[in-house]
């Protein structure tokens, strides 16, 4: 492919580097004054050159509200490389991008159609935008969590009243699973409903070999939000929001929404890291990721040869028709070894000094990259070999009872919505015992990690069924994630 603008440029990085070279002294923010007034530990952490370039939005740099200089140019370069009509650089993660997308696409009081496997940032986005959710049913499998919504179930959600103003899908999932998107995008486009994709885990899809999941923007999404810090090499917190070429949402509307939410002091170090990452990926991304996929295949074959361990591969599984997986997300099912995923996680951390991205009862999930440490990969294999060789003696995580497994796996019925997430989140609240909360309107998010899918969202009625599921999960040793870390109490609308 030929590019119209010079992808060899890195405008934000060049602007910072040129500014540092001018020798101008700043009688302005930031207070650390290029590192002169920084604690020694900060200098140690960030380095002298990092501190010298840690500049805010100002005349010499640019700004992210109405960019007219290096930020505008860098965003145009990113849009071209990633195939978007416009790209917005974010210095507060996909969390900022998702809230922006929802505020741009969903009017206050409107409805957003979405599956239940949403990240907490989507719930925050609903609170900020004032929209209410309509949950689209989808399947969940023990091997890989949530499957993608089908065109049929999405069409049914979009054709019922009140008509949703937008659709939001999470793709790929934490397990690297991505359903093909084009037919789902077509369902949205036929109805002129914008499709937002939370692609937090898929910034690298663009550079993967054929056969991998298609990036959302290429498959027809209107808006896609990517945490570049998760799977590309930019700094933690850096992310980008793309507007599709045929998007029904104008880039100007996205900028307006973003301007309500973003800081006036975005970290230009983070923005520069997006800029140089984009240039590097333009130069070498495809080769680097092709080689990484080959490495991943070799590793997976070795893991699969270990008795009791099984790498998740959707190919040929009729339940997963239309789904592909991220080849760099290695999901190892450990249930054949007698170990839970949590036990494997702990054992590999302490005995082999390797850490996974996520564990659940049955699986451990590893994210690979083009530059993984070969020695660490060998330690990972050695640890998994050791697990395969010794059947677990079982002192650690409690085994899951059959019904707890199904409560965990099969998303319990979505509780009825008593008021909008925004109304509940901003209401006066009371703290009550979980066991006596039935019939009250929840004012917070209650979830278990993993899978981190909300069991309760602000605005939803606490039901006896949900309380029972929480109890079973607590008894089974699952980790609650709520204002009360023991989940003995819950915040409800007063």
Ligand X SMILES: Cc1ncc(COP(=O)(O)O)c(C=O)c1O
Residues found near ligand X in the complex (CB under 6 A)? 93-95, 119, 121, 170, 198, 200-201, 227, 239
- Work out how close the CB of 227 gets to ligand X at its nearest, in angstroms, rounded to a whole number: 4
CB of 200 to ligand X, least distance (A): 3
3-state secondary structure of 248: coil
Cβ proximity to ligand X, 197 vs 467, nearer residue: 197
Nearest to 93 by CA among 261, 336, 215, 286: 261
Give min distance, CB of 97 to ligand X, in A: 8
Per DSSP bridges, beta strands 145-146 and 140-141 are: antiparallel
**Measured from the CB of residue 192, what is the shortest distance to ligand X in angstroms?**
25
Burial class (CB in 10 A: 0-12, 13-18, 19+), 176: buried
Query: Which of 252, 230, 250, 253 has its CA nearest to residue 240?
Result: 230
CA distance 28 to 487: 47
Minimum gap (Å) between residue 447 Cβ and ligand X: 12
Taking the least distance from each CB to ligand X, the nearer of 149 and 490 is 149
Alpha-carbon distance of 128 to 151, in angstroms, equals 28
Q: In the bound complex, what is the minimum distance in angstroms from residue 164's beta carbon to ligand X?
A: 20
Rg of the Cα trace of the chain?
23
Q: Which long-range contacts (CB under 8 A, 24 or more apart) does 368-375 make?
A: 368/292, 368/295, 368/296, 368/299, 368/328, 368/329, 368/330, 369/231, 369/233, 369/292, 369/328, 370/288, 370/289, 370/291, 370/292, 371/233, 371/288, 372/292, 372/295
Closest CB 119 distance from ligand X, rounded Å = 3
Tokens 């959710």 locate to 133
Q: Cβ of residue 198: shortest distance to ligand X, in angstroms?
A: 5
**Cβ of 195: how many Cβ atoms within 10 Å?**
29
**How many residues would you count in the chain?**
494
417-455: b (≥16 Cβ within 10 Å) or e: bbbbbbbbbebebeeeebeebeebbbbbbbbbebbbbbb
Nearer residue to ligand X within complex by CB, 141 or 419: 141
For residues 324 and 472, which CB has a smaller minimum distance to ligand X in the complex?
Answer: 324
- Min dist CB 457 to ligand X, Å, is 15
User: Are 57 and 49 contacting, i.e. CB atoms less than 8 angstroms apart?
Assistant: no
Three-point CA angle 335, 340, 344, nearest 5°: 110
Nearer to ligand X, 93 or 194 (CB): 93
Q: How far is the CB of 203 from ligand X (least distance, A)?
A: 10
**Residues 77, 87: Cα–Cα separation, whole Å:** 9
Query: Is residue 98 a contact partner of residue 198, using CB atoms and an 8 Å limit?
Result: yes
Residue 422 C-beta: closest distance to ligand X, Å? 19
* Residue 230 or 429 having the CB closest to ligand X: 230
Residue nearest to ligand X (CB): 93
Residue 128 or residue 306: which is nearer to ligand X going by CB? 128
Give the span between the Cα atoms of 85 and 221, in whole angstroms. Answer: 12
Structure token digits, residue 396:
């650690």
Q: Left, alpha or beta for 162 (phi > 0: left; psi -120 to 50: alpha)?
A: beta
Comparing CB distances to ligand X, the nearer of 178 and 482 is 178
Q: For residues 200 and 292, which CB has a smaller minimum distance to ligand X in the complex? A: 200
CB of 201 to ligand X, least distance (A): 6
Cα–Cα distance for residue pair 46/455, rounded to 1 Å: 39
H or E, element range at 243: strand 239-243
**Toward ligand X, which CB reaches closer, 82 or 352?**
82
Closest to ligand X by CB, 131 or 453: 453
Q: Which is nearer to ligand X, 93 or 213 (CB)?
A: 93
């Amino acid at each position: 492919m030929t590019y119209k603008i010079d992808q060899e440029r890195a405008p934000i990085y060049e602007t910072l580097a040129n500014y540092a070279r001018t020798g101008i002294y700043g009688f302005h923010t930031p207070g650390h004054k290029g590192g002169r007034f920084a604690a020694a530990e900060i200098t140690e952490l960030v380095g002298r050159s990092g501190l010298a370039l840690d500049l805010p939005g100002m005349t010499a740099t640019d700004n992210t509200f109405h960019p007219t200089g290096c930020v505008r140019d860098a965003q145009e370069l990113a849009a071209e490389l990633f195939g978007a009509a416009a790209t917005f650089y974010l210095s507060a993660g996909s969390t900022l991008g998702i809230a922006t997308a929802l505020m741009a696409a969903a009017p206050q009081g409107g409805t957003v159609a979405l599956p239940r496997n949403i990240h907490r940032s989507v719930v925050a986005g609903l609170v900020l935008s004032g929209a209410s959710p309509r949950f689209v049913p989808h399947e969940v499998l023990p091997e890989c969590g949530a499957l993608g919504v089908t065109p049929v179930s999405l069409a049914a959600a979009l054709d019922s009243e009140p008509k949703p103003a937008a659709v939001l899908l999470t793709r790929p999932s934490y397990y690297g699973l991505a359903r093909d998107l084009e037919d789902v995008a077509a369902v949205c486009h036929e109805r002129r409903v914008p499709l937002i994709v939370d692609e937090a885990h898929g910034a690298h899809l663009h550079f993967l070999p054929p056969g991998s999941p298609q990036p959302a923007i290429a498959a027809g999404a209107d808006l896609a939000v990517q945490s570049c810090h998760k799977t590309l090499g930019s700094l933690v917190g850096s992310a980008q929001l793309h507007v599709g070429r045929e998007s029904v949402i104008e880039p100007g509307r996205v900028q307006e929404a973003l301007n309500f939410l973003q800081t006036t002091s975005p970290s230009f170090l983070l923005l520069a890291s997006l800029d140089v990452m984009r240039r590097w990926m333009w130069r070498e991304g495809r080769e680097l990721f092709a080689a990484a996929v080959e490495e991943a295949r070799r590793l997976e074959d070795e893991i699969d040869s270990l008795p009791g361990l099984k790498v998740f591969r959707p190919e040929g599984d009729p339940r997963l028709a239309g789904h592909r997986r991220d080849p760099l997300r290695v999901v190892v099912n450990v249930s054949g070894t007698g170990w839970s995923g949590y036990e494997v996680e702990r054992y590999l951390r302490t005995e082999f000094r390797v850490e996974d991205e996520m564990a659940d009862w049955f699986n451990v999930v590893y994210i690979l990259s083009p530059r993984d440490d070969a020695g660490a990969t060998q330690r990972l294999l050695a640890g998994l070999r050791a697990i395969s060789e010794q059947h677990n003696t079982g002192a650690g995580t409690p085994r899951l009872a059959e019904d707890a497994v199904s409560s965990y796996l099969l998303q319990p019925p979505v509780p009825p919505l008593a008021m909008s997430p925004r109304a509940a989140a901003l209401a006066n609240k009371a703290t009550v015992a979980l066991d006596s909360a039935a019939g009250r309107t929840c004012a917070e998010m209650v979830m278990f990690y993993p899978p981190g899918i909300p069991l309760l969202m602000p605005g939803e009625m606490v039901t006896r069924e949900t309380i029972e599921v929480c109890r079973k999960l607590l008894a089974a040793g699952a980790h609650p994630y709520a204002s009360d870390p023991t989940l003995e109490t819950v915040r409800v609308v007063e």
